[in-house]
Structure 1
Amino acid sequence: MAPISFPKGFLWGIASASYQIEGGWNEDGKGESVWDRFSHTPGKIKRGDTGDVACDFYHRYADDIGLMAELGLNAARISLSWPRIMPAGKGAVNQKGLDFYRRVVDEMLARNIQPWVTLYHWDLPQTLEDAGGWPNRDLAEYFRDYAGVVADALGDRVKHWMAFNEPWIFTILGYHLGIHAPGRHDIGDAIKATHTVNLAQGMAIKAIRESKNRPEAVGTAFSMSPVHPETGSLEDRTAAERWHRFYNKWFLDTVMHGKYPEAYLNGSVEDHVEIRAGDMDLIKAPLDFIGINLYTRAVVAHDSSDRYMGVKQVRPGGEEVTEFGWEVYPQALSEMILHVTKDYPGIPIYVTENGCSYGDGPGADGKVNDQRRVSFLRRFIAEVGHAMKAGADVRGYFLWTFTDNFEWAEGFQQRFGIVHCDFKTQRRIVKESGHWYARLARSGALDFDPVI
């Protein structure tokens, strides 16, 4: 089978999140985050795990970045911890926090690794949650101010920014389903949170662009999945369209076009979301690129008992799943990329997260032979190539993730890394998938074009 060749300059990177890797949870003036509080609450995280130490990136960043360089990676997504930089979420700036991220970015640049920085990957300062959290509209202004502080401080080094990572996930899972921090269960508050986050997204993007250091590109990394109806019935097909609008476009149509997609079963968006005069002007800030975070597809059916979207998610029928229980459905990635290409023509796309959880550990020879991950990555990255051949302007791929890490409510039970981390000793072992990805990053050529 013919290899797929990616263009020169294509970015091969990894993605990570501050709370999942850093540790140092209360060092050097860092404030408490909602994930510090949530993980320390009994019963919230499997086995009582916390991110107090995680991968100890706070102390081991130079070694980890050196290993990234050894593997030939040319880009890395990191996120900033808002409470490490502004412990109360507003007001005083913690200089030691900013200095830490300067050191991290400088180490990347010294290793010829482009830093792609996300302002917010879920670790809200607990003080702001105590003031109402994301349902409180004031947070949009606080986030804008935080964005301005870090853009002024790091913008001479960082040229590629993302406002948020997966805003749908931290609003809906955090404020409606309660399985992520802060663990609340209120659909009304969750929808209020989505509107505040949309305001914050537009305001922060403008703040970065207006900072003293001109960025090259500003975007957001969105959780996305192509939505398939369970059956071919009109009810299921229209349910799938509503879910697509809510899950894939709720934070994207807003920032790109200044309007919400109509996703509710009954009534208009204005019947469900409090939109004040001038809000949509604040929200609209067309992105320089769109980040797609994708792991699988969604399958839905009509559900008349759901008075909001009229949708229920259905377990897909695929036989192959990861250890997280997610269906392995590679064509989801090309399908989603082409959806975005069609809906937002002319905007560059980056795959800002894609990966899989498999628990393979060191064998008797000390090596980690995680062939299931190699197979997964080969097939999904091939779909990136297929989308590009079909006309999509994809410019980079960021694998989730570098080292095994703290996987939110799952604690340390789910391993997504291409580098094995022993959380007791902090020893790193590059897995077979890491060596495979290094060969791809160096050559830009996928070794074969699989047809699944």
Structure 2
Amino acid sequence: MTEKAFTFPKDFKWGSAVWAQGTEGAFDEDQKSKTVFEEYALQNPSRMQQGIGPFHTLDWYNRYEDYISYMEELHLNSFRTSISWARLMPDGRNVNQKAVDYYTSMFKNMAQKNMDVWVVLYWFDMPLHFEKQGGFSNRDIIPLFKDYVSVCFELFSEYVDIWFVYNEPAVDIMLKYFNDRCYPNEINFNKAYQSMYNMVVAHAEVVKEFKRLNIDSCKIGSVLDIKPVYPRSFHEKDVEAAEIFSLLHDKSWLSSFIHGVFPEELKEFLRGLNALPRMEKHDEALLKENTIQVLGINHYFPVRVQAKQHLRNPEAPLQPESFFDYYDMPGRKMNKYRGWEMYPKAIYDVLIDIRDHYNNIECYITENGIGVQNEERFKNKEGVIQDDYRIDYVRDYLEQCYYAIQEGCQLKGYHMWSFIDLWSPTNQFLNRYGFVEFHPETRETRIKKSGHWFKDVIDQNGFKKRNSD
């Protein structure tokens, strides 16, 4: 037996993440207004696993210092979280000083513990009163969003190392306008892609504002969930199906944010469906002049597709899946709890694609992880969850990250999802992802075996994997 060392570059960023809606709780404290998820949970309580809505969660708003102590214990040198627009500016216009005090204290606390602070400005949680006006499908929301982020820049940039405008904007649209997983519970293809386009324009406005304020102490980017898409075969129709998926899901955002170009092929595709978004003349120059400095990559699984096997019902509402079918490749290794394929090489393929087609932009893995149900059954006699499956998962994906770095990819850090078990928009607390256990019934918190392993990885700036000769 021999040991192979995987040593990462100097100053590599090791950390993890949470999001405001999934952790803060205190949904009705200190004038906070309602979000789309809170409204959805109130309207559809039976669709919440174990009846748990996003109302109290981890009570991070009042207990953040306790959680930061775990970050310090794990030696994290970076951390990503988000600001709730509905908390900071409950009416969308006036700043809530209680929220300012909370975010300032939290960010300052992390920075003082030598952690880089990465902050997402919009993470699915549209204030309800704005979604009732159409959300991002209404272009009038863009200046209001710009005002909000400008407040964030001016209040908190002293403590922030990277601002991420969005987290997974494609998922935001999917949850609201395709999957019936969030208020307003619509299936509306045209509205979805109008929202998508307006989010692209809003993103450029935010970058423009960041540049106007001449903030040189931090960088600006966005986080995209990127899935390499593999066609079932080399048949032209399978390949075409893969190209359509990539265009609708990944290329549209990557091209807009990195190259500053809303793809012409997407315009043509949407025009053919009578779904071309409304655009304004100055948008093209705005996008071109306001691109990102860094890219966050969320990656969990690849997508495998094939040509449509059956004709689409012309009476049915359009969805992305109207143009391809998912392909269940025989022999895939699956996370049976989440229904997601585990294919570590996919993260390598993502990074190589960014290197070759998107300027080899400075990037970070901002999410990657495995959700498992009923983890309590894996506790040892001391009560520590023995999540060796999580260690194996993270190690396998980190190996592929290492190989990509060796081939010239500008990958500068890795964050596992998630720091602690938290509330998810799709399955609440059913699948647990954290390095730290949080039990929603007992409120118990304890570092899992994987957390202790990750601490050693950070301390060594890498790890060793035992391989057979």
Length-normalised TM-score, structure 1? 0.95
Q: Is contact 1:29–1:97 with CA below 8 Å preserved after alignment?
A: no
Deviation at 1:164, TM superposition (A): 0.1
Deviation at 1:183, TM superposition (A): 2.2
One-letter amino acid of the structure 2 residue matched with residue 386 of structure 1: Y
Per the alignment, residue 50 of structure 1 pairs with 53
Q: Is contact 1:350–1:395 with CA below 8 Å preserved after alignment?
A: yes
Per the alignment, residue 68 of structure 1 pairs with 71
Per the alignment, residue 362 of structure 2 pairs with 348
SS of structure 2 residue aligned to 1:323: coil
One-letter amino acid of the structure 1 residue matched with residue 368 of structure 2: N
Root mean square deviation of aligned Cα: 2.0
Q: Is contact 2:421–2:432 with CA below 8 Å preserved after alignment?
A: yes
Listed as ranges, the gaps of 5+ residues in structure 1 are none
Q: Is contact 2:121–2:149 with CA below 8 Å preserved after alignment?
A: yes
Distance 1:115 1:316 in 2: 40
Q: Is contact 1:17–1:79 with CA below 8 Å preserved after alignment?
A: yes
Per the alignment, residue 277 of structure 1 pairs with 281
Q: Spell out, residue by residue over 1:115-168, the C-alpha distance to the aligned partner (whole angstroms, 9 max, x if none).
A: 100001111111101111221111121111111011000012213100000000
Per the alignment, residue 445 of structure 1 pairs with 462
Deviation at 1:217, TM superposition (A): 1.1
Match of 2:353 among 339, 344, 351: 339
Percent identity between the aligned chains?
A: 28
Distance 2:12 2:186 in 1: 41
Distance 1:45 1:148 in 2: 34
Worse-matched range after superposition: 283-292 or 61-70? 283-292
Distance 2:371 2:40 in 1: 23
Q: Is contact 1:162–1:218 with CA below 8 Å preserved after alignment?
A: yes
Distance 1:46 1:236 in 2: 36
Deviation at 1:37, TM superposition (A): 0.7
Distance 1:212 1:95 in 2: 25
Per the alignment, residue 429 of structure 1 pairs with 446
Distance 2:40 2:252 in 1: 26
SS of structure 1 residue aligned to 2:446: strand
Q: Is contact 2:25–2:54 with CA below 8 Å preserved after alignment?
A: yes
Distance 1:374 1:180 in 2: 32
Q: Spell out, residue by residue over 1:174-203, the C-alpha distance to the aligned partner (whole angstroms, 9 max, x if none).
A: 112222343221111111110111111111
Per the alignment, residue 391 of structure 2 pairs with 374
Distance 1:436 1:185 in 2: 43
Q: Spell out, residue by residue over 1:73-132, the C-alpha distance to the aligned partner (whole angstroms, 9 max, x if none).
A: 10000100000001122x111111121100110110121111100001111111101111
Per the alignment, residue 115 of structure 1 pairs with 117
Q: Is contact 1:83–1:124 with CA below 8 Å preserved after alignment?
A: yes
Q: Is contact 2:360–2:409 with CA below 8 Å preserved after alignment?
A: no
Match of 1:238 among 221, 236, 240: 240
Deviation at 1:322, TM superposition (A): 4.6
Deviation at 1:26, TM superposition (A): 1.0
Q: Is contact 1:228–1:299 with CA below 8 Å preserved after alignment?
A: yes
Deviation at 1:257, TM superposition (A): 2.5
Distance 2:428 2:114 in 1: 32
Deviation at 1:330, TM superposition (A): 0.6
Deviation at 1:408, TM superposition (A): 1.1
One-letter amino acid of the structure 1 residue matched with residue 303 of structure 2: A
Alignment map for 1:260-271 (pairs within 5 Å): 260-261=262-263, 262-263=265-266, 267=271
Distance 1:119 1:267 in 2: 31
Listed as ranges, the gaps of 5+ residues in structure 2 are 313-317
Length-normalised TM-score, structure 2? 0.91
Change (3 A) 1:319 1:258: closer
